[in-house]
Amino acid sequence: MNLTDWTITEKEFKKENTELNGSRYIIGNGYMGYRGTFEEFGKQELVALNMAGLFDRNGDSWRESVNAPNPLYTKVFAGDSEVSLLECAPSEHERSLDIRHGLHLRKTVFKIDGTLITITANRFLSIENEHIIGLDYTVSADKPVNIIVKTGIDGDVWDINGPHFVIKDKKSEEQINSLSCETIENNIKLVVYEFIDTNSGQYDNSEKVKLLNVFNTVVTPEKPFHFKKLAGVYWGDEVQNSEEMFKESIKCGYDKILRKHNAAWKNIWDKSDVVIDGDEEAQRALRYSLYQLISVAPRGNGKCGIPARGLSGQVYKGASFWDTEMFMQPFFSFTDPQVSRKLADYRINTIAGAKRKAREYGFDGAFYAWESQETGDDACTLFNITDVFTKRPIRTYFRDKQIHVSADMVYGLWEYCNISDQYQILADGGLDLIYQCVRFFYSYAYTKLNKRSYEFLDVVGPDEYHERVNNNAYTNKMIERSAEILLSALTKVKLNYPKYYKEFTEKNDIEWIEDFKNNLYVTSPDENGIIEQFDGYMGLEDISLEDIKKRVIDPNEYWGCGQGIATTTRILKQADVIMMLNVFRKKYSKKILEANWNFYEPYTEHGSSLSACAYAIVAANIGNTEWAYKYFMRTATVDLTGNSRQYLGTLYIGGTHPAANGGSWNTAIFGFAGVSYDDDIIDISPHLPENWKSMSFKLAWKGTELSVHINGNDVKIKAIGVKKNINITVYGKKYDLG
């Protein structure tokens, strides 16, 4: 794999990399993602046009996101041979991903019976019109050769727990082919159209699950065979007017759609790029991470969140986790507040599911889903890991006990409000979300009459290897923050939306909040400055990572749950206290950050891709740029190297890692650039890695665009479109911005 500033390229084809490259070379537009596979591939090669927000359940299997029929399916034949990477080794092959424009490009040369046949194909998922896909396909040859090209819509798709639709209709009219389907569980309509700009082919409807155009033609060195295809994908209510919408796109034409797509990508990059001078490797890895984030951001009409594996398939059921609010949303709040608002709206729109979950467990308020799909009901199963030894499902407590998820929702929403200075969302359901989450914690809290403090017993913190623990430091601190946010949100609403405030407080009791916030138990650092991860953690076996690995019997065995090798030890799966210190890095002294980083780092397995960035950010904030850099590169390259965990027990968990991608931006900005903020003030105190000559980026802060350039300790800030007086400090010293 070669990398330049804006492209990643492979110059040879290795079949064994098909699964990994499907994620690495993915394109997406938030509405759908198309894996980095080749046009001649089928479901065995894990081709997937993965739909955001469309879910289905077939029988007793897990509900998961739907992979739509594939409208880019294309096969070429010359005589008896299939001109395909699956059938013959190419004499030349190059494929690249242009991350500046979200374009997938390939050129493959095959030698078939002495003739060199070249396939060139470019594709994109329009980020300007989320329904549209473009494919520009050419077959050329060095000698005249008769070829047959079959291109169409392939309804035989890859699923983990499918199939997820039945084909209801196949049609071909005025050069537009369409395949209409309905999902199994809820009969949701989904239609895929294609339009090819040449009508010399024959419509072939003979295959049950495919719809094809067949071109039988002679290709000569002077006259290649070429077509441009536009495809349209629509589901749900939008199916009704989809034909007209697709016809509009055809009228607009392939080239114009592509131009608009490129322009839209340019606009997005203009506000979100981070430029690093002096370190090409870091630059590429960071840009690639941003590319992944941009590709999964909801922008259009869809009402969905970002799945934990982006739009790379059905792993983790296409569900959204705390990953969104704690790892990805900061990037959007600071670069594209409209996307951030959509993410928050998704949680507001799914609060009914969170309320049902709270009730199910006997609590008040809103207990958000650990794995959230379109209704907010929890898609997380109780036995979601299979033991590699017994092949039996193991009980996990992710769903029932990771209560911090509700505090993460509050945090993400309030961060959006604070960073963008937009508070309307509070009157549009945001205040209710905050209130219901805190209310849930209030009902979950444990308190004894003689012990006036609220504690949180029987929980799972971010470190999933230790289940059902008491007073997890991250959980309690996040709950305290949620209660604080609730008080701030009530004050804002009282001031800005008095009528709504009156209605709200007439319906909801707010008397208890102050007492709850003030008397919540938050773990204090011990005499060495260490914050215990949960009650009793220090009493667990003190073993090194190296030694615990000697106890591993199967490389895919799960270290947590009842029998896991980590449960009785101090070994943790992922940043936990360090995750807390990352979030509250300005609330603790450098000494505390340092003591805890040094204490927990040797025990941390980083068994989740969410872990490295927290260690990177805290390391940068204590001035340990060497370790910060190591962990930064680990998080920023996760989808380039593919070095992340692929199996959990027997469960395949591969795909892209948007939380880690978000973690790279967070590290660059909150770690190296040293950006921190509270309600009124933003501070920039950089600690750049030694080899970074400079770093430039933009932040949308309270409606003003701050363009920041850091060169060593020299910080230049330009404010564009100043919306209100901004308090800004650099290394703690106050400056006035015009």
CB closer to ligand IFM out of 330 and 462:
462
The rounded radius of gyration (Å) of the Cα atoms in the chain is 26
Q: Which residues pair with 123 in a beta bridge?
A: 104, 135
Annotated active-site residue in 194, 464, 467, 594: 464
In the bound complex, what is the minimum distance in angstroms from residue 655's beta carbon to ligand IFM? 10
In the bound complex, what is the minimum distance in angstroms from residue 360's beta carbon to ligand IFM? 21
Q: Which of 453, 451, 512, 505 is nearest to 483 (CA)?
A: 512
CB closer to ligand IFM out of 572 and 728:
572
CA angle 332, 682, 410 (to 5 degrees): 50
In the bound complex, what is the minimum distance in angstroms from residue 462's beta carbon to ligand IFM? 6
In the bound complex, what is the minimum distance in angstroms from residue 562's beta carbon to ligand IFM? 18
Kindly compute the dihedral angle of the four CA atoms of residues 191, 196, 202, 205, in this order, to the nearest 10 degrees.
-10
In the bound complex, what is the minimum distance in angstroms from residue 574's beta carbon to ligand IFM? 6
- CA pair distance 670, 663, nearest whole angstrom: 10
CB closer to ligand IFM out of 232 and 462:
462
Is 480 designated active site? no
Q: Which residues pair with 393 in a beta bridge?
A: 386
The one-character DSSP state at 214 is: E
Q: Which of 688, 686, 681, 695 is nearest to 729 (CA)?
A: 681
In the bound complex, what is the minimum distance in angstroms from residue 659's beta carbon to ligand IFM? 6
538: CB partners within 8 A, 6+ apart: 532, 570
CB closer to ligand IFM out of 189 and 606:
606
Q: Which of 194, 209, 167, 188 is nearest to 53 (CA)?
A: 188
Amino acid identity at 364: D
In the bound complex, what is the minimum distance in angstroms from residue 161's beta carbon to ligand IFM? 18
Kindly compute the dihedral angle of the four CA atoms of residues 81, 85, 89, 90, in this order, to the nearest 10 degrees.
100
The one-character DSSP state at 113 is: T
In the bound complex, what is the minimum distance in angstroms from residue 621's beta carbon to ligand IFM? 22
- CA pair distance 634, 621, nearest whole angstrom: 18
In the bound complex, what is the minimum distance in angstroms from residue 133's beta carbon to ligand IFM? 27
In the bound complex, what is the minimum distance in angstroms from residue 402's beta carbon to ligand IFM? 8
468: CB partners within 8 A, 6+ apart: 397, 401, 458, 459, 460
Cβ proximity of 571 and 465 under 8 Å: yes
DSSP three-state, residue 404: helix
Amino acid identity at 131: H
CB atoms within 10 A of CB 544: 13
CB closer to ligand IFM out of 462 and 654:
462
Q: E-strand spans in 126-250? A: 132-141, 145-154, 165-173, 176-183, 189-196, 202-204, 210-219, 225-235
**Helices 611-621 + 590-600 axis angle, to 10:** 140
**Helices 280-296 + 625-636 axis angle, to 10:** 50
DSSP three-state, residue 514: helix
Instruction: Report the interface residues with ligand IFM, using CB under 6 A.
Output: 308, 316, 321-323, 462, 464, 608, 610, 659
- CA pair distance 674, 30, nearest whole angstrom: 30
In the bound complex, what is the minimum distance in angstroms from residue 318's beta carbon to ligand IFM? 12
- CA pair distance 641, 635, nearest whole angstrom: 10
CB closer to ligand IFM out of 212 and 614:
614
CB closer to ligand IFM out of 436 and 608:
608
CB closer to ligand IFM out of 558 and 672:
558
CB closer to ligand IFM out of 190 and 319:
319
The one-character DSSP state at 185 is: T
Alpha helices by DSSP H, listed for 273-323, are 280-296, 323
At 462, phi and psi to the nearest 5? -55, -35
- CA pair distance 513, 438, nearest whole angstrom: 8
- CA pair distance 424, 272, nearest whole angstrom: 24
Residue with tokens 């094809």: 212
CB closer to ligand IFM out of 10 and 415:
415
The secondary structure of 88-131, three-state, reads: CCCCEEEEEEECCCCEEEEEEEEEECCEEEEEEEEEEECCCCCC
CB closer to ligand IFM out of 124 and 327:
327
Residues with catalytic roles:
464
